[in-house]
């Protein structure tokens, strides 16, 4: 089992998907064992692939050379149009596969406990396997077309997961919203892929990157295609202005699907941009766009998270915000920082979602902060693990979030003037604020609803165990930036020395940056503690009194949903109604209408001719012919 057989990692969950979807219902235990086996085998094989991959590097003369293992088969070809199917393993995809298989295995095991007794139990596991297979194919694909398939596959599976409780109207609506919103981005991605392919004649990612970096594609053309591709990433990652779908997507089975969406699916966009980053770097303007979109997203969702009381939605907003951080890192040409944050975020956000799920189960399906509070005493393990996750999210040292965010801060110096650093700092303060608010209002203070408090209890071991494991990982994952840690694990060095595109970057502890970002984090935490713990919650009510407009704007998520709904209603549907009205009343019914209703067959056939419809159609045909003929003659002239 070597790195060139990496396709097996995809094939296992895909096979499980097929088996479960077709006959999962009739398998013993509805096939959950099969799902766990498939993803577990993928996880085990991943370590073989990784080992082989690292081993192949040893053969290189220059230990700091970029290396990768690619292989492909011909899929179809016509004339000069070849399609290859292949896998591409490099440090970037190796890390991504690791995140997906580890998270996937944990989610699958956790689901056995969480989904117990649900209707369509087998269907959930089938879709879960499909999702993981598509996601693995996405990160392993060596060409943009296959990547696009996987991209759509991920989208379809997430649509099915969000709409899992399709009996619930809000779930069906949320599924539709997610699908349509991401689909807009997907069209952009497809256009971008087509444009790149038009310019280079290949779908192979490395060939395209070579063409872009050697200047074979015009800069304006490249910029336009990359922006289309970025559109796809924005849709999938729920970046501003596509952020509307993710909070609603929390309608899926809690917190499993939430976890899939938050920790796994949305980072597909980050991976895509990181993969194509060398092309982005050719056109600095595109990096600027990525940075700005990341900043706007991070700050905007920070405010929204502060005005939301549903704990899962707060986590959803924080996910979008953290994705914004990753895009900022990408915009600063620091894929290592972005992927590092991606990895740490995957772990601490999984922890937070699972802990939130534990809260929801423990309080009998209560997820509104207004009714929680003081749960510290009732659910100690959940509270402690949640606290660890929160501290990581708020980037408090020494938890993992601190190290990765520190790397991003460090990277922002790429932009002159320090405005990116400043705005990023502001977003980080917001993060610390809403994270602390979330923790304080859920676990500390006085219970807001005595009945809920009295019935609350700690959840069972199946749910608590993953929490503890994830909490431990969250505590230590950040240390992988250190060279010693990385080397001890068998990697060439620290995280930033493993994931790189041009030059590996040796991690150097920069005390002033670390201190500054620690101050920001602590500042945010203390500020929020002062406001929310010190019983100054009324500050938000005061804001509502003082500036109702601002408060409503926050609560209504800046009115983006209403805007989009209006756009779809008035724009697209309006247009088609106008056209159909034209068809119905102008084209069809000139003359006497209602053919079938008014006439009897026994009478004259000629009556049908008299109804006006047929002459109108005939006129249309003749008009078309005459129009074409005139156009043809004029063009010829």
Partner 1 sequence: MDGVGVNIAFWVLAVVTIGAALGVMAARNLLHAVLFLILTFIGVAGFFLLLSAEFLAMAQIIIYVGAIAVLVLFAVMLTPHAGQSNSETKMALPAGLLALCLAAIFVFVLTDTDWSSVGSAPSVGVTGLGDALLSTWVLPFEMASVLLTAALVGAIMLTRNPEDETPEADA
Partner 2 sequence: MSGWDTVGPQLAVLVAAGLVLLVDAMLPRQRQALPYIALAGLAASAAWTASWVGRDDFHTAFGGTLSLDQYAVFFYFVFAGITAAVVLASIDWVNRAGRSQGEYYALVLVACSGLMFLSAARDLITIFLALELSSIPQYILAGWGKDQKSSEAGLKYLLLGSIASALLLYGMALLYGLTGTTILPDIAQVIQQGGDTNRGLLVVAMVLLIAGFGFKMAIVPFQMWVPDVYQGAPTPVTAFLSVGSKAAGFAVIMRIFFEALGASFLSDDWFKIFAVLAAVSMTLGNVMAIVQSDIKRMLGYSSIAQAGNFLVGVAAIAVPGHEFTLGASAVLLFVAAYAFTNLGAFIAIIAISQKIGSDEIKDYRGMWRRSPFLALALAFCLVSLTGIPPTVGFWAKMYIFNAAIRADLAWLVILGVLNAAISAYYYLGVVRQMFLSEPEDEEPIRTTPPIGISIAVATAGIFVFGVIPMPLITAAKDAVQIFAH
Of residues 98-157, those binding partner 2 (CB under 8 A): 149, 152, 156
Distance CA 215, CA 236 (A): 29
471 CA to centre of own chain: 22
- Minimal CA–CA distance to 297: which of 333, 323, 266, 315? 323
E strands, 105-201, are: none
Q: Does 569 bind partner 2 (CB under 8 A)?
A: no
Helix (H, G, I), strand (E, B) or coil at 76: strand
The gap between the terminal CA atoms of the chain, to the nearest Å, is 68
Helical spans, DSSP H, in 444-510: 450-455, 461-476, 483-488, 495-498
472 binds, among partner 1, partner 2, none (CB under 5 to 8 A by kind): none
Q: Which of 187, 224, 299, 544 binds partner 2 (CB under 8 A)?
A: 187
Distance CA 97, CA 102 (A): 8
What tokens does 596 get? Answer: 């079938």
Of residues 167-186, those binding partner 2 (CB under 8 A): 167, 172, 175-176, 179, 183-184
The region that residue 490 occupies, defined by phi over 0 for left and psi between -120 and 50 for alpha, beta otherwise, is left
Q: How many CA atoms lie within 13 A of 481 on its CB side?
A: 25
509 binds, among partner 2, partner 1, none (CB under 5 to 8 A by kind): none
**Least spacing, CB of residue 593 vs partner 1, in Å:** 12
Four-point Cα dihedral 9, 11, 17, 23, nearest 10:
-130
Distance CA 430, CA 520 (A): 10
Q: Which of 79, 117, 417, 549 binds partner 2 (CB under 8 A)?
A: 79
What tokens does 548 get? Answer: 């109702």
Identity of the residue, 66 or 608, whose beta carbon is nearer to partner 2 in the bound complex = 608
Identity of the residue, 179 or 230, whose beta carbon is nearer to partner 2 in the bound complex = 179
Identity of the residue, 488 or 605, whose beta carbon is nearer to partner 2 in the bound complex = 605
Helix (H, G, I), strand (E, B) or coil at 72: strand
Identity of the residue, 88 or 151, whose beta carbon is nearer to partner 2 in the bound complex = 151
E strand or H helix at 73, and its extent?
strand 69-78
**Least spacing, CB of residue 79 vs partner 2, in Å:** 5
Q: Does 634 bind partner 1 (CB under 8 A)?
A: no
Distance CA 445, CA 330 (A): 39
Of residues 195-224, those binding partner 2 (CB under 8 A): 195, 197-198
Q: Which of 468, 475, 514, 616 binds partner 1 (CB under 8 A)?
A: 616
C-alpha torsion sign, points 430, 434, 436, 437: positive
What tokens does 263 get? Answer: 């920790």
603 binds, among partner 1, partner 2, none (CB under 5 to 8 A by kind): partner 1
Q: Does 60 bind partner 2 (CB under 8 A)?
A: no
DSSP 594-605: -HHHH--TTS-T
Cα separations in angstroms, 307 against 10, 82, 426, 533: 41, 52, 17, 17
- Residue 276: CB atoms within 10 A of its CB come to 24
Instruction: Using CB under 8 A, count the residues that bind partner 1.
Output: 18
| Candidates 2-10, 59-67, 140-148, 612-620; binding stretch for partner 1 (CB under 8 A) | 612-620
What tokens does 613 get? Answer: 């419809």
**Least spacing, CB of residue 29 vs partner 2, in Å:** 22
Q: Does 575 bind partner 2 (CB under 8 A)?
A: yes
Strand partners, 248: none
Identity of the residue, 476 or 625, whose beta carbon is nearer to partner 1 in the bound complex = 625
Identity of the residue, 596 or 633, whose beta carbon is nearer to partner 1 in the bound complex = 633
Q: Does 544 bind partner 2 (CB under 8 A)?
A: no
Identity of the residue, 44 or 587, whose beta carbon is nearer to partner 2 in the bound complex = 587
Helix (H, G, I), strand (E, B) or coil at 490: coil
Instruction: Using CB under 8 A, count the residues that bind partner 2.
Output: 61
Distance CA 193, CA 141 (A): 14
| Candidates 57-65, 187-195, 266-274, 531-539; binding stretch for partner 2 (CB under 8 A) | 187-195
591 binds, among partner 2, partner 1, none (CB under 5 to 8 A by kind): partner 1
Identity of the residue, 418 or 615, whose beta carbon is nearer to partner 2 in the bound complex = 615
Site string for partner 2, 585-624 (x = CB under 8 A): --x-------xx--x-x---x--xx---xx-xxx-xxxxx
**Least spacing, CB of residue 594 vs partner 1, in Å:** 16
Q: Which of 380, 484, 571, 632 binds partner 2 (CB under 8 A)?
A: 632
- Residue 485: CB atoms within 10 A of its CB come to 17
User: Cβ neighbours of residue 186 under 8 Å, at least 6 residues apart?
Assistant: 151, 152, 155, 232, 235, 236
The answer to whether 382 and 464 are in contact (CB under 8 A) is yes
Distance CA 55, CA 571 (A): 57
Of residues 577-606, those binding partner 1 (CB under 8 A): 590-591, 603-606
Q: Does 535 bind partner 2 (CB under 8 A)?
A: no
Q: Does 476 bind partner 1 (CB under 8 A)?
A: no
585 binds, among partner 1, partner 2, none (CB under 5 to 8 A by kind): none
Distance CA 586, CA 520 (A): 66
**Least spacing, CB of residue 586 vs partner 1, in Å:** 11
User: Cβ neighbours of residue 418 under 8 Å, at least 6 residues apart?
Assistant: none
**Least spacing, CB of residue 578 vs partner 1, in Å:** 22
604 binds, among partner 2, partner 1, none (CB under 5 to 8 A by kind): partner 1
Q: By the criterion CB under 8 A, which residues form the site for partner 2?
A: 75-81, 149, 152, 156, 163, 166-167, 172, 175-176, 179, 183-184, 187, 190-191, 194-195, 197-198, 572-573, 575-577, 579-580, 583, 587, 595-596, 599, 601, 605, 608-609, 613-614, 616-618, 620-625, 627-629, 631-633, 635-636
Q: By the criterion CB under 8 A, which residues form the site for partner 1?
A: 590-591, 603-606, 610, 612, 615-616, 619, 622-623, 625-626, 629-630, 633
């Amino acid at each position: 089992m070597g790195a060139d057989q990496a396709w097996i990692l995809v094939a296992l969950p895909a096979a499980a998907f097929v088996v479960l979807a077709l006959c999962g219902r009739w398998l013993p235990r509805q096939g959950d064992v099969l799902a766990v086996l498939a993803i577990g085998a993928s996880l085990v094989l991943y370590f073989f692939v990784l080992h082989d991959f690292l081993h192949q590097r040893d053969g290189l003369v220059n230990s700091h050379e970029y290396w990768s293992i690619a292989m492909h088969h011909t899929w179809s070809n016509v004339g000069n149009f070849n399609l290859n199917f292949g896998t591409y393993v490099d440090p970037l995809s190796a890390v991504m596969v690791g995140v997906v298989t580890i998270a996937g295995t944990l989610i699958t095991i956790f689901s056995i406990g969480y989904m117990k007794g649900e209707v369509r139990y087998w269907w959930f596991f089938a879709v879960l396997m499909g999702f993981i297979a598509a996601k693995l194919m996405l990160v392993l694909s060596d060409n943009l077309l296959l990547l696009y398939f996987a991209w759509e596959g991920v989208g379809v599976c997430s649509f099915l997961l969000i709409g899992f409780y399709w009996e619930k109207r809000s779930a069906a609506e949320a599924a539709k919203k997610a699908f349509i919103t991401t689909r807009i981005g997907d069209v952009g991605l497809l256009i971008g892929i087509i444009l790149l392919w038009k310019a280079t004649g290949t779908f192979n990612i490395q060939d395209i990157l070579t063409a872009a970096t050697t200047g074979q594609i015009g800069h304006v053309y490249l910029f336009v295609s990359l922006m289309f591709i970025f559109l796809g990433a924005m849709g999938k990652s729920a970046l501003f202005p596509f952020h509307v779908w993710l909070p609603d997507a929390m309608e899926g089975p809690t917190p499993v699907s939430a976890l899939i969406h938050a920790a796994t699916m949305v980072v597909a966009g980050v991976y895509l941009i990181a993969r194509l980053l060398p092309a982005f770097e050719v056109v600095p303007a595109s990096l600027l766009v990525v940075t700005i979109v990341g900043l706007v997203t991070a700050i905007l969702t920070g405010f929204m998270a502060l005005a939301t009381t549903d704990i899962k939605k707060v986590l959803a907003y924080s996910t979008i915000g953290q994705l914004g951080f990753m895009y900022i890192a990408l915009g600063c040409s620091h894929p290592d920082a972005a992927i590092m944050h991606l990895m740490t975020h995957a772990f601490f956000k999984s922890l937070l979602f699972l802990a939130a799920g534990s809260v929801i189960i423990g309080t009998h399906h209560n997820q509104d902060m207004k009714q929680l509070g003081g749960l510290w005493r009732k659910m100690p393990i959940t509270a402690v693990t949640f606290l660890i996750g929160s501290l990581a999210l708020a980037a408090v040292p020494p938890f993992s979030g601190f190290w990765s965010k520190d790397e991003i801060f460090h990277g922002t110096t790429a932009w002159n003037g320090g405005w990116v650093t400043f705005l990023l700092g502001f977003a980080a303060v917001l993060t610390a604020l809403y994270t602390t608010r979330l923790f304080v209002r859920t676990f500390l203070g006085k219970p807001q609803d005595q009945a809920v408090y009295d019935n609350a209890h700690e959840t069972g071991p199946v749910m608590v165990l993953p929490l503890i494991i994830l909490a431990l990982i969250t505590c230590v994952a950040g240390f992988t930036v250190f060279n010693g840690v990385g080397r001890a694990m068998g990697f060439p060095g620290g995280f930033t020395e493993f994931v790189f595109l041009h030059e590996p970057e040796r991690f150097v502890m920069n005390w002033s940056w670390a201190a500054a970002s620690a101050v920001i984090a602590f500042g945010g935490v203390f500020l929020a503690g002062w406001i929310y713990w010190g019983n100054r919650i009324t500050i938000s009510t005061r804001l509502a009194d003082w500036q109702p407009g601002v408060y409503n704007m926050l609560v209504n998520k800046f009115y983006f949903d209403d805007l989009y709904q209006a756009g779809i209603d008035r724009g697209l549907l309006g247009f088609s109604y106008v056209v159909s009205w034209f068809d119905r009343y102008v084209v069809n019914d000139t003359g006497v209408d209602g053919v079938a209703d008014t006439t009897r067959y026994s009478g004259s056939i000629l009556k049908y001719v008299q109804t006006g419809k047929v002459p109108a159609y005939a006129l249309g045909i003749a008009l078309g012919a005459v129009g074409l003929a005139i156009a043809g003659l004029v063009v010829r002239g």
